[in-house]
Amino acid sequence: MHGLMQEWPLVCHKIIDHAARQHPNREVVSRSVEGPIVRTTYAGVRDNARKIAQLLAREGFQPGDRIATLAWNTGRHLEAWFGIMGMGGVYHTLNPRLFPEQIAWIMNHASDRAIFTDLTFMPLVEKLVPSVESLRKVIVMTDAAHMPETALPNVVSYEEWLDEADGDFEWADVGEDAACGMCYTSGTTGDPKGVLYSHRSNVLHAMMAAMPDAMGVGSKDVILPVVPMFHANAWGLGQTCPMIGAKMVMPGGKMDGESIYELLDTEKVTFTAAVPTVWLMLLQYLEQNDKKLPYLKKVVIGGAACPRAITEKFEKNYGVEVIHAWGMTEMSPLGSLCTMKPQHAGKTGDALLDIKQKQGTAPFGVEMIVTDDDGKELPWDGKTFGRLKVRGPAVASSYYGGDGAEQFDEDGWFDTGDVAHIDPDGYMQITDRSKDVIKSGGEWISSIELENLAVGHRDLAEAAVIGLPHEKWGERPLLVVVAREGCAPSRDDILAFMDGKIAKWWMPDDVAFVDEIPHTATGKIKKTALREQFAHYRFPG
């Protein structure tokens, strides 16, 4: 028997229509690529999105076409997303921090047909265009006055192009299961793989993200997504903010401590989100300039494990609640958020920080298990770690073009490639990437736990742990560190600091000092490069 309720497809243009109706004057503020702070509203975003959809359709782009964006977080980028989706197209975010050859590879794999770009990336686009045959048009997100000289064909300035449309356009009639967005994984191992979001998965993910025990945001919030739209959809905030009518503050290309502080302060931001490195820069700026954060209430930190010191500083020194979160491009991207349950009421100090080190619980819409290598489910005891697997309506069911099929099993579980344990309260903690876990004497050592501990040493700026071959134990941990400027900690001093805080057999066999630790385009430690760098290293003795 069918329910007798209306068919109301979960499509993304309903989000921007809702925002324009219910919150027409709520602002979207951007640090423009040209320099000044510029302002629009949700009504303005919807109007420009309509024009974009109209122009794309008029120029022969078809539903399902992949339209790339190579852009910072700005109001224009948001308009481009909704315009592309509203025409039935698929916005395809490109990460400018990848090598040009990698970007070209990704664009060819996706067969991108047009590209929206910021001025910043014009030199890059000039390199890319000749090697991407499917590309027919370049839209430079600026006005006529700022248009650069270029020899490329079919290039228009965004503002002039929009003037050609009146916005009298009906959104494309696409079903909720139609593709609307695309993002490639960073490809730290093997080629990047394409994740193809649907309207339905984006809408459900946006609702999930806003829930009180997830990000817990609403129309009164002023939200600054520092996390780029090209990194896993700015963690869904491009859809969540208009859905709830929050004011958006977009940082453009400037993500240094001073620029972010300026926006937090002048726009009275209440909620923000980014990877730990951004917060390290901000905290340093605040400390050096004796600044406070009177308006900020919550900060979501994810993309990499959040060091305890960051959580502690935000909460103790600035009164800002930290929500540690975990997710992946393949999950739209939110997988878990570390907010407290009733049983934690009254917890403070170290007891609270201990929980906040965990990546948190799965919101409704994410199912999570840990299994051993044979697929047998492991207990939720907070210590038995294994492969972390997930499923849900905003989790990929396969990669574009059928790559990486081995990560999806017949019961619908997606193997995240992360290693984790889950405690009896449902709090998951990542202990490693499955490729990075150190297998010593048949037992596993968590490289992340060692890294988190080591960076607590006052003289260390960054730490990474890799497993290297060992005759007796198979593999043993090597701690690679970068000292803080002006500090010269010794090997013994660092190991003594770690002693007693971990099992004896987890202690790194040696400490290597480097000037810099290699990072991926999304800011994660590049363990593959580090392992190559230390391929000829031998442990003492």
Q: Give me the amino acid identity at 275.
A: V
**Nearer CB in complex with ligand AMP: 16/274:** 274
Binding mask 463-502 vs ligand AMP (x if CB under 6 A, - otherwise)?
Answer: ----------------------------------------
C-beta neighbour count of 273 within 10 angstroms: 25
In the bound complex, what is the minimum distance in angstroms from residue 305's beta carbon to ligand AMP?
Answer: 4
Residue 185 interacting with ligand AMP (CB under 6 A): yes
Inter-residue contact 85 to 199 (CB < 8 Å) = yes
Options 233, 270, 416, 431; binder of ligand AMP; rule CB under 6 A: 416
368 contacts ligand AMP (rule: CB under 6 A): no
> What DSSP line would sit under 298-366, residue for residue?
EEEE-SSPPPHHHHHIIIIIH--EEEEEEE-GGGSSEEEEE---GGGTT--HHHHHHHHTS-BBPPTT-
SS3 string of 390-405? EECCCCCCCCHHHCCH
Q: Draw the binding track, 430-469, toward ligand AMP (x: CB under 6 A; -: no contact).
A: x--x------------------------------------
Q: Which stretch binds ligand AMP (CB under 6 A): 6-14, 17-25, 413-421, 451-459?
A: 413-421
Asked if 128 and 103 count as a contact pair (C-beta separation under 8 A), the reply is: yes
CB of 484 to ligand AMP, least distance (A): 23
How many residues comprise the chain? 541
Considering the rule CB under 6 A, would residue 362 count as an interface residue with ligand AMP?
Answer: no
Minimum Å gap between C-beta 12 and ligand AMP is: 21
CA 496, distance to chain mean position in Å, is 35
User: Interface with ligand AMP includes 304 (CB under 6 A)?
Assistant: yes
359 contributes a contact to ligand AMP by CB under 6 A: yes
User: By the 8 A CB rule, do 43 and 167 touch?
Assistant: no
HSE value, Cβ hemisphere, 13 Å, CA-based, for 347: 14
Burial of 206 (C-beta count, 10 Å sphere; 0-12/13-18/19+): buried
Q: Which is nearer to ligand AMP, 40 or 452 (CB)?
A: 452
Count of Cβ atoms closer than 10 Å to residue 137 Cβ: 19
Which of 32, 73, 142, 186 binds ligand AMP (CB under 6 A)? It is: 186
Which residue's structure tokens are 């903690």?
A: 429
CB nearer to ligand AMP: pick between 15 and 323:
323
List 243, 305, 320, 368, residue binding ligand AMP (CB under 6 A): 305
Q: Which residue in the set 75, 253, 302, 307 belongs to the binding site for ligand AMP (CB under 6 A)? A: 302
Instruction: Kindly state the number of chain residues that form the binding site for ligand AMP, as judged by CB under 6 A.
Output: 21
> Nearest-CB residue to ligand AMP?
329
Nearer to ligand AMP, 30 or 329 (CB): 329
Smallest gap from Cβ 368 to ligand AMP, in A, equals: 13
Cα gap 428→385, rounded to integer Å: 10
418 binds ligand AMP (CB under 6 A): yes
Instruction: Choose which of 241, 522, 527, 530 interacts with ligand AMP (CB under 6 A).
Output: 522
What is the 3-state secondary structure of 421-434?
EECCCCCEEEEEEC
Q: Which is nearer to ligand AMP, 140 or 480 (CB)?
A: 480
Q: Which is nearer to ligand AMP, 69 or 157 (CB)?
A: 69
How far is residue 139's CA from residue 123's CA, in Å, rounded to a whole number?
A: 14
DSSP, collapsed to helix, strand or coil, labels residue 189 as coil
- In angstroms, give the least distance from the CB of 388 to ligand AMP: 8
Buried b / exposed e across 319-337, counting CB within 10 Å, b at 16+?
Answer: ebbbbbbbbbbbbbbbbbb
The Cα 42–Cα 432 span in angstroms is 41
Cβ closest to ligand AMP, residue 186 vs residue 259: 186
Q: In angstroms, rounded to a whole number, what is the distance separating the alpha carbons of residues 11 and 90?
A: 13
Q: How far is the CB of 454 from ligand AMP (least distance, A)?
A: 16
Answer yes or no: are the C-beta atoms of 329 and 185 closer than 8 Å.
yes
Over the range 54-69, which residues count as b (16 or more CB within 10 Å of their CB) and which as e?
Answer: bbbbeeebeeebbbbb
Least spacing, CB of residue 313 vs ligand AMP, in Å: 17
C-beta of 125 vs 428, nearer to ligand AMP: 428
Nearest distance from residue 443's CB to ligand AMP, in Å?
21
The residues annotated as belonging to the active site are 185, 330, 439, 444
CB of 366 to ligand AMP, least distance (A): 13
CA dist 355 and 474 (Å) reads 32
Which of 102, 522 has the CB closer to ligand AMP? 522
- Does residue 326 belong to the site contacting ligand AMP (CB under 6 A)? yes
Interaction site with ligand AMP (CB under 6 A): 185-186, 232, 302-305, 324-329, 333, 359, 416-418, 430, 433, 522
